[in-house]
Amino acid sequence: MAQQRKKLFIKTYGCQMNVYDSERMRDVLAPLGYEPADEPDGADLVILNTCHIREKAAEKVYSELGRLRPHKDAKAGTKDPMTIAVAGCVAQAEGEEIMRRAPVVDLVVGPQTYHKLPELIAQTHRARGERLETEFEPVAKFDALAGDRAVEGYSAFLTVQEGCDKFCTFCVVPYTRGAEWSRPVDQITAEARMLASKGVREITLLGQNVNAFHGAPPSGREADGPWGLAKLLRHLSLIGGLDRIRYTTSHPNDMDDELIAAHGDLECLMPYLHLPVQSGSDKILHAMNRKHTIESYARVIEKVRAARPDIAISGDFIVGFPGETDKDFEDTMQAVREINYASAFSFKYSRRPGTPGASLPLQVDDTIASERLAHLQALLTEQQTAFNRSQIGMRLPVLFEKKGRLAGQLHGRSPYLQSLHCEAPAELIGQIAEVTITDASQNSLTGRLDAKVDAA
Ligand code: 5AD
Ligand code: SF4
């Protein structure tokens, strides 16, 4: 008998790992007859895959739950009531509080238990009771999620590592995602091969601390002991069809020489490195428990640039961390001037309950933090625009991913992860073609297709 079709709406907040997890949730729920829907109205199951990294991100979840209420009420008492689940890091950190604050929620599921979603949903349906699933069991999670994946497009995420043992004093990740854990190389390779067989040309290896990767070696190579990220990259580079590999996010202390060398000689490793520094002041870096100095960070960047001179460097910054003075902030501005970023993400410090930073004295006044953020962002925007404009006139290989906003245009990505729009035939979607850059702005490039490549 054909299975009854049900509608599944997932709203994803936060990082790329959440995007990856949402796709996996879709995959485990597909055999139960759940099909993706574009809106919550009328959905049988709504999942909010949440982010806890900053306070604003967590509060958004409660606002969304308020908006979902009428949708759920509209289906209440019918034969298909709406089930609402909260997944992700807010679920991990505030499971019980969610149930208390938002009775509209049926189910709370932490990041390591998505493979149990079908079972939990079945239980909820049976009992309409409350279930809390927020324990850490990454091994079980990936074993259960290891099968086939629905793939959309030509660029895909692949989680290789989860969690973090660094305990930066501002960060919730070690509490919400748990201790660092790496997937075995064979399992990652199988997933990468499967992606390539479905036409994927570019993979981005994900991990909260991806360059701390230390996965079990492939079978037959047990004597090697755990493999680091550099070995994994070289191994994956041999998979036919995968033309581009990226990885994110990294910690400066885990940029070992082998990984830096890979940036010099591994052709498919794209010339882009996201390496958060957070602050340019050693005093603040120490208070953040970053375990590096601005000098040691700059040395890593120098080595990476020596291996791959054109590499685009990207970073994360936090302003207004407790105790940050005008002088500390100026040190951050000076570090940015010296390093010169191609792109960056910058945030005002958000006090996260339970992290050591939350109880530090000298929390910075919000107005001052906002002013500092505006200054820093102006400088980073200037650098990003200059980087993009420096490519006008160059020829770059572009992976076309989808149609652009204007008719006749396609959207793609340069090796440096820049967005690019260009007039090109739709057959080039999924292909890499040479484009001459004709214009550039803060957020994207415009180009001219050099030669119409035969898409066959
Ligand atoms: N406040 C502000 N920004 C934060 N980040 C992580 N935790 C916080 C916080 N409590 C930023 C860091 C990190 C990025 C993912 O989010 O810059 O690298
Ligand atoms: Fe958080 Fe990154 Fe620090 Fe780990 S290394 S605690 S994920 S900021």
Question: What is the mean predicted confidence (pLDDT) over 410-429?
Answer: 97
Name the burial class of residue 302, with classes exposed (0-12), middle (13-18) and buried (19+) by CB atoms within 10 angstroms of its CB: exposed
Q: Output the ligand 1 site: residues, CB below 6 A.
A: 53-54, 170-171, 276, 278, 316, 318, 347, 349-350, 352
Q: Give the pLDDT score at 121.
A: 84
Tokens of 117: 């979603």
Q: How far apart are CA 374 and CA 366, in angstroms?
A: 12
pLDDT in tens, 391-415: 999 999 999 999 998 999 999 999 9
Task: Assign 282 a pLDDT band (cuts: 50, 70, 90).
Answer: very high
Q: For residue 3, is pLDDT > 80?
A: no
Q: Give the pLDDT score at 129.
A: 46
Q: Give the pLDDT score at 130.
A: 42
What's the gap in Å between 296 CA and the centre of ligand 1? 21
Least confident stretch, 161-165, 201-205, 291-295, 386-390: 161-165
Protein residue with its CA nearest to atom 16 in ligand 1: 53
Q: Ligand 2: which atom is nearest the Cα of residue 174? A: 6
Q: For residue 386, is pLDDT > 60?
A: yes
**Choice between 129 and 192, residue whose per-residue pLDDT is larger:** 192
Q: For residue 2, is pLDDT > 50?
A: no
Question: What is the mean predicted confidence (pLDDT) over 350-366?
Answer: 91
Tokens of 244: 């581009």
Shortest CA distance to 232 belongs to which of 197, 165, 186, 180? 186
Ligand nearest to the CA of 358: 1
DSSP letter at 4 equals: P
Question: What is the mean predicted confidence (pLDDT) over 142-163?
Answer: 81
What's the gap in Å between 350 CA and the centre of ligand 1? 8
Average pLDDT, the chain: 91
CB 413 within 8 A of CB 379: no
Q: Ligand 1: which atom is nearest the Cα of residue 355? A: 10
Residues whose CB falls within 8 Å of the CB of residue 453, separated by 6 or more in sequence, listed in order: 428, 431, 433, 434
What does 383-449 look like in DSSP terms, one character per residue? Answer: HHHHHHHTTTT-EEEEEEEEE-SSTTEEEEE-TT--EEEEE--GGGTT-EEEEEEEEE-SSEEEEEE
Q: For residue 59, is pLDDT > 70?
A: yes
Q: Give the pLDDT score at 243.
A: 97
What does 271-335 look like in DSSP terms, one character per residue? Answer: SEEE---B-S-HHHHHHTT----HHHHHHHHHHHHHHSTTPEEEEEEEE--TT--HHHHHHHHHH
CB 446 within 8 A of CB 440: yes
Q: For residue 138, is pLDDT > 80?
A: no
Q: Give the pLDDT score at 1.
A: 41
Q: Give the pLDDT score at 58.
A: 85
Question: What is the mean predicted confidence (pLDDT) over 24-46?
Answer: 90
Q: How far apart are CA 52 and CA 244, in angstroms?
A: 31
Q: Give the pLDDT score at 375.
A: 98
Protein residue with its CA nearest to atom 3 in ligand 2: 168
Ligand nearest to the CA of 318: 1
DSSP letter at 147 equals: S
pLDDT in tens, 162-204: 999 999 999 999 888 888 999 999 999 999 999 999 999 999 9
Q: Which residues pair with 422 in a beta bridge?
A: 410, 447
Q: Ligand 2: which atom is nearest the Cα of residue 249? A: 2
Task: Assign 353 a pLDDT band (cuts: 50, 70, 90).
Answer: confident
Backbone φ, ψ for residue 435 (5° rounding) = -130, 135
Task: Assign 84 a pLDDT band (cuts: 50, 70, 90).
Answer: very high
**Choice between 99 and 317, residue whose per-residue pLDDT is larger:** 317
Q: Give the pLDDT score at 240.
A: 94
Q: For residue 321, is pLDDT > 80?
A: yes
The amino acid occupying position 372 is R
**Choice between 149 and 449, residue whose per-residue pLDDT is larger:** 449
Q: Give the pLDDT score at 119.
A: 81
Task: Assign 153 a pLDDT band (cuts: 50, 70, 90).
Answer: confident
Q: Give the pLDDT score at 133.
A: 61
Question: What is the mean predicted confidence (pLDDT) over 429-437?
Answer: 97
Q: How far apart are CA 413 and CA 397, in angstroms?
A: 9
Q: Give the pLDDT score at 127.
A: 64
Task: Assign 253 a pLDDT band (cuts: 50, 70, 90).
Answer: very high
Q: How far apart are CA 187 and CA 205, in angstroms?
A: 13
Percentage of the chain exceeding pLDDT 70: 93
Q: For residue 455, is pLDDT > 50?
A: no
- pTM of the predicted model, to two decimals? 0.87
What's the gap in Å between 250 CA and the centre of ligand 2? 9
Our answer on whether the CB atom of 208 is closer than 6 Å to any ligand 2 atom is: yes
Shortest CA distance to 58 belongs to which of 113, 9, 95? 95
Task: Assign 310 a pLDDT band (cuts: 50, 70, 90).
Answer: very high
Q: Give the pLDDT score at 146.
A: 59
Tokens of 209: 């601390």
Q: Ligand 1: which atom is nearest the Cα of residue 317? A: 17
Q: Give the pLDDT score at 280.
A: 98
Please choose from 164, 169, 278, 316 the residue to mutate so as to test ligand 1's pocket, defined by most ligand atoms within 8 A of CB. Answer: 316
Task: Assign 424 a pLDDT band (cuts: 50, 70, 90).
Answer: very high
Q: For residue 74, is pLDDT > 80?
A: yes
Shortest CA distance to 399 belongs to which of 307, 238, 272, 306? 272
Question: What is the mean predicted confidence (pLDDT) over 80-98?
Answer: 91
Q: Give the pLDDT score at 456.
A: 37
pLDDT in tens, 211-223: 999 999 999 999 9
CB 128 within 8 A of CB 175: no
Q: How far apart are CA 220 and CA 127, in angstroms?
A: 48
Handedness of CA 50, 51, 56, 58 (dihedral sign): positive
CB atoms within 10 A of CB 50: 29
